[in-house]
Amino acid sequence: MPRKGGPIERRSIANVEKVVVVASGKGGVGKSTIALNLAFALALRKNERTNAPLRVGILDLDIFGPSIPTLMSLKNAGEPALTNGGAILPMTNHGLPCMSMGFLIPSTIPGSEDNTDTPIVWRGLMVQKAVQQLLFDVDWSKDGQGLDVLVIDMPPGTGDVPLTLGQLVKVDGCVIVSTPQDVALSDVRKGIAMLKKVSVPITGLVLNQAYYLCPGCSTNTPRYLFGETKNFYDVASKLHTPVLGELPLVEGVSRSSDQGYPYVLRDSKSVDLDDGNGDVVWRSNMAQIAASVNSALWKNV
Ligand SMILES: Nc1ncnc2c1ncn2[C@@H]1O[C@H](COP(=O)(O)OP(=O)(O)OP(=O)(O)O)[C@@H](O)[C@H]1O
Ligand SMILES: [Mg+2]
């Protein structure tokens, strides 16, 4: 809580070594999809200091429109358990712990656990309280070992949530997501400016839905459905921010999200849909993005 007469002190999250945020000023650009797949792609990597597999968790800070319960196939999975001390225990699926407002809101249908249609109608202070609870009241100790990295999925925009996060928590890195359109880029610039104001270090940019590789076509020429990518690279260079990678638009990515299964974990032989070269490019670029984020997080240790 703010202290009288002094600046707000930023805290670490208990049992979490590094915090990396996935954000964008713009809605619907793929933040949640990338946050989820980044978390799993990191979990497939090793801690560069200990050589043990990275222990990763994911925290959904989108209070009004949480996506992680769906993306983790944990929708209507019931309420999370509490520790004896009253801390909230994360929910786990596919071997990865996660927490979301979506697990904490009640159903409006009598006798049902389905809270999909329950709206959150809160003003600023309530939002701040919910963010504080999600940041500090979750027990990430995971078999007593804790997490190497907590990936935070942010809501769109520059409102209460990024402000509260930046003021209360020491953040170690931030991945900014954009699509090639100018409308997205303009919001992205505002988002970056805001995050810098609250001292969140920007790790780099990801260009999502950069192009489409038609699976059934004889040529593998990328189709720039949302326009050329030049403006994105111009913005990155003007902001002196590295580009971590590009991800193509792939049908299986969105289908996989709806099925609650991270695309990076899919075995390409078992998928019901042939995404052609887009599949290979998406996975390898996501793995590269995770490698860059991992290196950046531990660089100044
Ligand atoms: N590279 C991609 N290829 C195909 N579909 C994608 C890709 N990236 C995102 N999508 C789809 O686009 C939609 C929006 O993605 P997502 O929910 O991750 O965006 P968001 O930025 O988190 O949105 P919000 O601002 O509402 O939180 C989803 O249906 C998702 O499956
Ligand atoms: Mg989202």
Neighbours of ion ligand 2 (CB under 5 A): 31-32, 67
| CA 62 to ligand 1: nearest atom | 27
- Burial of residue 119 (CB within 10 Å: 0-12, 13-18, 19+) is exposed
**Which are the contacts of 58, defined by CB distance < 8 A and separation ≥ 6?**
35, 36, 39, 68, 72, 96, 97, 98, 99, 150, 151, 152, 153
Nearest CA to ligand 1 atom 26: 28
262 and 71 in contact (C-beta within 8 Å)? Answer: yes
| CA 177 to ligand 1: nearest atom | 21
Q: Which residues pair with 20 in a beta bridge?
A: 151, 173
pLDDT tens column, 94-105: 999 999 999 988
pLDDT of amino acid 292: 97
pLDDT tens column, 245-300: 999 999 999 999 999 999 999 876 665 668 888 999 999 999 999 999 999 999 86
Q: What global pTM score does this model have?
A: 0.93
- Burial of residue 206 (CB within 10 Å: 0-12, 13-18, 19+) is buried
Who has greater pLDDT, 119 or 4?
A: 119
Mean pLDDT over each residue of the chain, to the nearest integer: 90
User: For residue 88, how many C-alpha atoms fall within 13 Å in the half-sphere facing its CB?
Assistant: 22
pLDDT of amino acid 268: 63
Ligand nearest to the CA of 245: 1
- Residues at CB less than 6 angstroms from ligand 1: 27-33, 62, 65, 67, 156, 208-209, 247, 249-250, 253-254, 257
pLDDT tens column, 29-41: 999 999 999 999 9
**Helix/strand/coil (H, E, C) string of 172-215?**
CEEEEEECCCHHHHHHHHHHHHHHHHCCCCCCEEEEEEEEECCC
Instruction: Say how many Å lie between the CA of residue 85 and the centre of ligand 1.
Output: 37
Using DSSP's 3-state secondary structure scheme, residue 38 falls into helix
- What are the structure tokens assigned to 15, written together? 């049992």
pLDDT greater than 70 at residue 191: yes
Residue from 204, 157, 208 nearest 181 by CA: 208
